[in-house]
Structure 1
Amino acid sequence: MAKKKEKKAGKRMTKKQLAEKLVDFFQAKPDEILTLKYIFSELRLTTHPLKMLCIDILSELQLDDYIVEVDKGKYRLNRRGKELVGTFHRKSNGKNSFTPEDGGESIFIAERNSAHAMNNDKVRIAFYAKRKSRDAEGEVIEIIERANDTFVGTLEVTKGYAFLVTENRTLANDIFIPKEKLKGGKTGDKAIVKVVEWPDKAKNPIGQVIDILGKAGDNTTEMHAILAEFGLPYVYPKAVETAAEKIPAEISQEDIANREDFRKVTTFTIDPKDAKDFDDALSIRPLKDGLWEVGVHIADVTHYVKEGGIIDREAEKRATSVYLVDRTIPMLPERLSNFICSLRPDEEKLTYSVIFDITEKGEVKKSRVVHTVIKSDRRFTYEEAQDVIETGKGDYNEEILALDKIAKALREKRFNSGAINFDRYEVKFDIDENGKPLGVFFKVSKDANKLIEEFMLLANRTVAEKIGKVPKNKKAKVLPYRIHDLPDPEKLDNLAQFIARFGYKIRTSGTKTDVSKSINHLLDDIQGKKEENLIETVSIRAMQKARYSTFNIGHYGLAFEYYTHFTSPIRRFPDMMVHRLVSKYLEGGRSVSETKYEALCEHSSEMEQIAANAERASVKYKQVEFMMDKIGQTYDGVISGVTEWGLYVELNENKCEGMIPVRDLDDDYYEFDEKNYCLRGRRKNRTYSLGDAITIKVARANLEKKQLDFALVD
């Protein structure tokens, strides 16, 4: 019976189907010579038409250089295709790919040809000869360097062995763990597991437990799991903390003697109410009518952290503090970040400062970068400083109002020069002592925030100019800059097309300032409109990412020709590098190695991106946790993302984001239109576009996957 069926199926085989079968057949036997007779028999090509069709396809595959005829009627896969080195990308759906390191299009790697390479491994592949109208394919022949061999997941322990069940989108199979490699882990524990081997014939990789994070679902466990997932540290090394404990907090007379003394000048900090690491303070005193001396004082971290020491090496590795929803993972040990270096009120502190003689119109008459000693008179929260700005009353009201006036003038100048005004709110959670989210609120940037921002920007820019701005025939000394490239022209065109449907326009050509001014004009026009958040999101996507580099190209978003990071050395390693180099250069020191510092800049940019991704994951986790008890409830939202697998919807009330899977849009067959950010029904032509208002019901909340699923309410 079965044989008859096979014949029937054979008769109905199209040329395309048979070609695919032949390709798979040759790939499954890459080193064998296959005779015609063997091919007919294995593929059960029993009828004359099928055999003729097969010979026809074989000659086409030969013409395409896909196979070679080694002898009359004997064929072999063409393995003369070149070998390439690059990065392997594993997908849990088996659609693995390879990106050559010298660029070029990505190459499909079937699971059977992956040699169990892991995601982001550096591999060498044999490139199969490309066939017309088919994707390029290859086979991993060597794993040169493992990218990541640790995974985070939940343990499932049975009598003789265990598995780590991961939510990792790159791993299709759970990790097998022998009983003796469990490190005491039990079912339901979150653990970090290292893959030690993946035997050729084995379906699952074999691993061993590196660390048990705690019970799945426990808040600290989950936050540590997010950090571990991104390869970020979740505990502070004991040896580094011990080194920090040995640093004396007292300031010696010798320390003070070599510094400008600002202890008697009115000085204060303005920070978020929950901040402990105050790394900047402002001092102000009148010089003469309309002219003020303003000091931007930054914690002198590098006075305490010696280059190349154990604390410095740890800071370099981390490169940044990480801010999750409910905690900060500091770059420096807490003794330094919250105590010795923190510019706390009524305590003498060592600082590195930029001092300005500046008019009320924001014109800088003079500036200098000097080591100082300060004593902060008051610690303001943003809310307290805002209250002084709004009422004109309160502590140091005259000083705060003067700073506010100067900051507003600086801000106006910046926008007139073409700086881009992305003024976004942040979503924050009210969290109880167990980390459970009780509610959502939005953090909006007000005048007090903008006051601090303007003076930090001015200090960063001034420091960059002091080192970078040199006479035409001189070469500037090496410094890490904060750079931001022009928007991608193609993305700008897409943005212009997208906003046109809402009736807006932007310039996509002309001078830098023309383009940025038209983007600002757009951002002003959408203020308070229902499409505001959406257009702002799409506009941000059109921008490049800011990063660190020793090659200065200026900062497009801020409209500065020279810009660096100097003002946050407690939480950013680039600022520590800048402090050291500026001190060295102002004392007449020689320029440092460009190669060394460019590598440090690349590392810092990469760690900044990873930290941002971890922060987003923690917000996502809290959003899902917050919505857990709201299954079945209905909300109004807006389509915030469109992909081929579904619609992302952001809820108006609490800004939580979830997805309507495309499979649940079952009234039609929907196709993804990438250019117009929409899904379009093939038969009824109904479209779901980015920015559309939509009503949803909360369908599922999966904490493990940090995923909310919504269902459409008609």
Structure 2
Amino acid sequence: MKKKNKSQKQQYKLESIGRLILRFMNKKNSKIYNYKQIADGIDYKNPRQRELVIQTLHKLRAQDKIKEVEKGKYMVNLQIKETLTGTIDFALNGNAYVSVEGLDEDIFIHQKNVKDALQGDKVLIITYNFKGRKLEGSVLEVLERAKDSFVGTFEYVKYKDFGFVICDKKVINTDIFIPKSKIHGAKDGDKVVVKMLQWDINSKNPEGEIIKVLGKPGEHETEIHSILAEYELPYHFPEEVEDFANKINREITPEELKKRRDMREVLTFTIDPKDAKDFDDALSLKKLDNGNWEIGVHIADVSHYVQPGTLLDEEAYSRATSVYLVDRVVPMLPEILSNDLCSLKPEVDRYAFSAVFEMNDRAEIVKQWFGRT
């Protein structure tokens, strides 16, 4: 009889602890907790009490009142549906949405449930339904970082031999911790590029390593290189791409001329400023015998030199466009192409692609032609 009473008392105790746990977890019912966080939340601090918390968690899980979303981590069972993989996109208020291939609508993630995810990361999420609300989710794990290098200002903590990097763009909601061994010569106040190495689940700050010192904030070269680094703009081309470009045949061949309409005797002028290095576009104008005007719009025929599937094609695809900064250009193609072979320079024969149309005095187009010139 005494044994039975003892067993009943233990049962009542676990049920009582279970109510405490559920009350605590329901305050933030989409958050994921480990047993230590739950024990602290109900003020169960000593080892014996924590053992009871673990027993109770197993019981609640067996009763389907809570869900073990990954080993040792629990959340209230909110009609959990499934785990999905997608790309996370943050709103300005800190909340986020995860787009999943095959789903029409993005899944909402409250800012308290984004874990250590950053903009554009590939993440594993768990989804659940709140009564009367749309599908929501919580980030379980970052599967792949979209970016792990950031630009920021280094702050050295005097007498402690470590520091922090405050990122220029608020892509991370906390500073990056830099241990002494990872400072690599940076001085207090320097603008730097930092590589994020790890972000432990119980740590407020990710740990990083300074991989480049850009200079002092406000200086022209520092700020330009900050832009290049922040947006990962590739200022230099890989050696193999440069070598490939330098082997291109630069001659205007008779065989190629036969395939093209010759516009070299037509008045043609570029529409770039006189200090431009690359002349991409040109206009031509010619009075026809019938009184109409022949207008030509010309662009450099890049496709003649950049063939599909080549190193040049792949490099241009990855860059997508040329980027113009205040004092320099990050080109889409190596200089031999962007500033020479694909630049419509004065008095130099160049391959082009053209739209030529005939226009009458009422500005009506009566004829048009498209092709290589």
Q: TM (normalized to structure 1)?
A: 0.40
Counterparts in 2 of 1:146 and 1:335: CA distance versus 1, 3 Å: same
CA contact under 8 A between 1:151 and 1:192: conserved in structure 2? yes
**Offset of residue 290 of structure 1:** 2.5
Written as runs of structure 1 = structure 2, the 5 A alignment for 1:255-654 is: 255-372=256-373
Matched with 2:54 is: none
**Offset of residue 21 of structure 1:** 6.5
Matched with 2:151 is: 152
1:125 maps to 2:132 = no
Counterparts in 2 of 1:173 and 1:31: CA distance versus 1, 3 Å: closer
Matched with 1:77 is: 76
Matched letter for residue 143 of structure 2 = I
Structure 1: how far apart are the matches of 2:125 and 2:328?
Answer: 43
Moved more, 329-338 or 134-143: 134-143
**Offset of residue 28 of structure 1:** 6.1
CA contact under 8 A between 1:195 and 1:205: conserved in structure 2? yes
Q: Which has the higher strand share?
A: 2
Deviations 1:508-538 (A, max 9, x none): xxxxxxxxxxxxxxxxxxxxxxxxxxxxxxx
Matched letter for residue 263 of structure 1 = R
Deviations 1:117-136 (A, max 9, x none): 2222222222344156x897
Structure 2: how far apart are the matches of 1:124 and 1:352?
Answer: 47
Deviations 1:682-702 (A, max 9, x none): xxxxxxxxxxxxxxxxxxxxx
**Offset of residue 153 of structure 1:** 0.9
Counterparts in 2 of 1:135 and 1:103: CA distance versus 1, 3 Å: closer
Matched letter for residue 335 of structure 1 = I
Structure 1: how far apart are the matches of 2:210 and 2:244?
Answer: 30
Question: What SS does the corresponding residue of 2:234 show, helix, strand or coil?
Answer: coil
1:24 maps to 2:20 = no
**Offset of residue 68 of structure 1:** 3.6
Structure 2: how far apart are the matches of 1:184 and 1:285?
Answer: 64
Matched with 1:228 is: 229
**Offset of residue 280 of structure 1:** 2.0
CA contact under 8 A between 1:90 and 1:170: conserved in structure 2? no
**Offset of residue 316 of structure 1:** 0.8
Question: What SS does the corresponding residue of 1:288 show, helix, strand or coil?
Answer: coil
**Offset of residue 218 of structure 1:** 1.9
CA contact under 8 A between 1:296 and 1:353: conserved in structure 2? yes
Deviations 1:156-215 (A, max 9, x none): 345633322113223121112334444543333322222221112211112233433333
**Offset of residue 103 of structure 1:** 4.2
Runs of 4+ in 1 over 4 A off after TM superposition: 19-22, 25-32, 38-43, 89-93, 134-137
Deviations 1:221-270 (A, max 9, x none): 21232243234334443443343334354423333343332222222222
Deviations 1:80-120 (A, max 9, x none): 41135334345797x44333522446534354x44422222
User: Which consecutive residues of structure 1, in runs of 5 or more, have no partner in the other structure?
Assistant: 1-18, 44-66, 71-75, 373-714
Structure 1: how far apart are the matches of 2:41 and 2:222?
Answer: 58
CA contact under 8 A between 2:78 and 2:130: conserved in structure 1? no
Q: Which has the higher helix share?
A: 1
Counterparts in 2 of 1:244 and 1:29: CA distance versus 1, 3 Å: closer
CA contact under 8 A between 1:78 and 1:129: conserved in structure 2? no
Structure 2: how far apart are the matches of 1:103 and 1:259?
Answer: 48
Counterparts in 2 of 1:217 and 1:291: CA distance versus 1, 3 Å: same
Deviations 1:460-507 (A, max 9, x none): xxxxxxxxxxxxxxxxxxxxxxxxxxxxxxxxxxxxxxxxxxxxxxxx
CA contact under 8 A between 1:124 and 1:143: conserved in structure 2? yes
Structure 1: how far apart are the matches of 2:264 and 2:41?
Answer: 92
Structure 2: how far apart are the matches of 1:137 and 1:324?
Answer: 41
Structure 1: how far apart are the matches of 2:269 and 2:184?
Answer: 51
Q: TM (normalized to structure 2)?
A: 0.72
CA RMSD between the two structures: 3.6
Counterparts in 2 of 1:114 and 1:20: CA distance versus 1, 3 Å: farther
Structure 2: how far apart are the matches of 1:137 and 1:288?
Answer: 71
Matched with 1:174 is: 175
CA contact under 8 A between 2:25 and 2:76: conserved in structure 1? no
Matched letter for residue 23 of structure 1 = N
Matched with 2:11 is: none
Structure 2: how far apart are the matches of 1:257 and 1:173?
Answer: 63
Structure 2: how far apart are the matches of 1:97 and 1:162?
Answer: 29
Structure 1: how far apart are the matches of 2:186 and 2:355?
Answer: 53
Matched letter for residue 300 of structure 1 = D
Matched letter for residue 26 of structure 2 = V
Matched with 1:493 is: none
CA contact under 8 A between 1:91 and 1:170: conserved in structure 2? no
Structure 2: how far apart are the matches of 1:289 and 1:256?
Answer: 28
Structure 1: how far apart are the matches of 2:96 and 2:368?
Answer: 54
Matched letter for residue 130 of structure 2 = K
Structure 1: how far apart are the matches of 2:40 and 2:214?
Answer: 54
CA contact under 8 A between 1:297 and 1:351: conserved in structure 2? yes
Structure 1: how far apart are the matches of 2:32 and 2:208?
Answer: 30
**Offset of residue 366 of structure 1:** 2.5
Structure 1: how far apart are the matches of 2:240 and 2:331?
Answer: 16
**Offset of residue 318 of structure 1:** 0.9
Larger Rg: 2
1:142 maps to 2:145 = no
Structure 2: how far apart are the matches of 1:197 and 1:100?
Answer: 25
Matched letter for residue 360 of structure 1 = D
Identity of aligned residues (%): 44
**Offset of residue 141 of structure 1:** 1.9
CA contact under 8 A between 2:24 and 2:41: conserved in structure 1? no
Matched letter for residue 268 of structure 1 = F
Matched letter for residue 255 of structure 1 = E
CA contact under 8 A between 1:193 and 1:211: conserved in structure 2? yes
Matched letter for residue 221 of structure 2 = T
